[in-house]
Amino acid sequence: MFLNTIRAACAALVVTAGAVFAETPVLRAAVLEFGTVNWELDTIKHNGFDTAAGFDLQVQGVASGSAGKIAFQGDEADVIVTDWLWVARQRAAGKDYVFIPYSRAVGAVMVPGNSAATSLADLKGGKIGIAGGPLDKSWLILQAYAQEKHGMDLAGDTEQVFGAPPLIFKTALQGELDGAINFWHFLAKMGAAGMKPLITVEEAATTLGLDPQTPLLGYVLKGDMLRANPELVQAFAGASRAAKDMLASDDAEWNRLRPRMRAKTDAQFEALKTGFRAGIPAPGPVDEDAAARMLALMAKLGGSDLVGGATDLPEGVFVQPGS
């Protein structure tokens, strides 16, 4: 019943799209080969949400986010997944890219299960592992939070170890770090292994006056596609929402996806499922005032190295067909 309802909703898009598409258009998505977005894209393909909406989604795996951006900018892909801050930076530089929300999942500072720390202040003098580099958005937000909440220079008062997400994950589980900041799915696995959250980025963002409901990650397309084929963009957005609605409530679909989730234990599987569901953004428009506040903070903390010339939110970043 649920699947039929979702398919009917997608099929409704064909009424509009069918008059425009002379033949089934192809939408090429370049995403990390083992990224969590594949769970949603797999759901779209397996359940035919793309064909029901009048297009053919073709997914190609890439080795890194940078590789995806190169493919996108070189017209070898129509869609990639990244954060809207990158889109804002590109728009400020004259690139006509647009953003459709995908996930609001954010990270946390995880500490060993036997850690006595109860706040970031307790990590003073300790070692923190950070996935990515010094301009990681979670790291920047947590620095601002530590300064406001504890009067603490988090970067100056701790030792940082920057590395790839799998390395930070492994090092943390070996007990070599006092705290770790990682991508949400690695944090879910760390929690399943007995580590615990000290503070979430959502909590820190709220304290700083930011809106934790602002989706950070999304699908990025070119503005000329939106202008030339608005029905195709709407069809893709509809298929994405159909997959989200299914994954929000259908445990059987998660059981089907489990092999590609690479969950080694039932605890990991449940943590990943719960984490993905928690990150599904609500339908409807993004609060652009809240996004502007986040951009202003990122510009203050990360400067032009992070946001380029986007000190104010450029017009037209967020596109949500059908909302």
H or E, element range at 111: strand 108-111
| 76 CB-near residues (< 8 Å, 6+ apart) | 28, 30
Last residue of a domain, one of 176, 207, 238: 207
Rounded average pLDDT over 122-149: 96
Both 99 and 117 in one domain: the answer is no
- Total domains in the fold of the chain: 2
What pLDDT is stored for residue 132 in this prediction? 84
Range of the domain at 201: 108-207
> Which pTM was predicted?
0.90
Query: For residue range 204-259, what is the model confidence (pLDDT) as tens digits?
Result: 999 999 999 999 999 999 999 999 999 999 999 999 999 999 999 999 999 999 99
What pLDDT is stored for residue 3 in this prediction? 52
The CATH number given to whatever domain includes residue 249 is: 3.40.190.10
| 304 CB-near residues (< 8 Å, 6+ apart) | none
Question: Given pLDDT bands bounded at 50, 70 and 90, which one contains residue 319?
Answer: confident
Query: For residue range 154-173, what is the model confidence (pLDDT) as tens digits?
Result: 999 999 999 999 999 999 99
Query: For residue range 30-79, what is the model confidence (pLDDT) as tens digits?
Result: 999 999 999 999 999 999 999 999 999 999 999 999 999 999 999 999 99
Examine residue 323 and state whether it is found in any structural domain, yes or no. no
- Contact status, residue 105 vs residue 218, Cβ threshold 8 Å: no
Last residue of a domain, one of 207, 222, 252: 207
Both 170 and 234 in one domain: the answer is no
Burial of 265 (0-12, 13-18, 19+ CB in 10 A): exposed
What pLDDT is stored for residue 323 in this prediction? 39
Tokens of 155: 């970067």
What pLDDT is stored for residue 16 in this prediction? 46
Tokens of 144: 């601002």
pLDDT above 50 for 17: no
- Contact status, residue 231 vs residue 20, Cβ threshold 8 Å: yes
Which of 125, 293, 107, 254 is closest to 182 using CA atoms?
107
Ramachandran category for residue 65: left, alpha or beta (phi over 0 → left; psi -120 to 50 → alpha): alpha
Both 225 and 141 in one domain: the answer is no
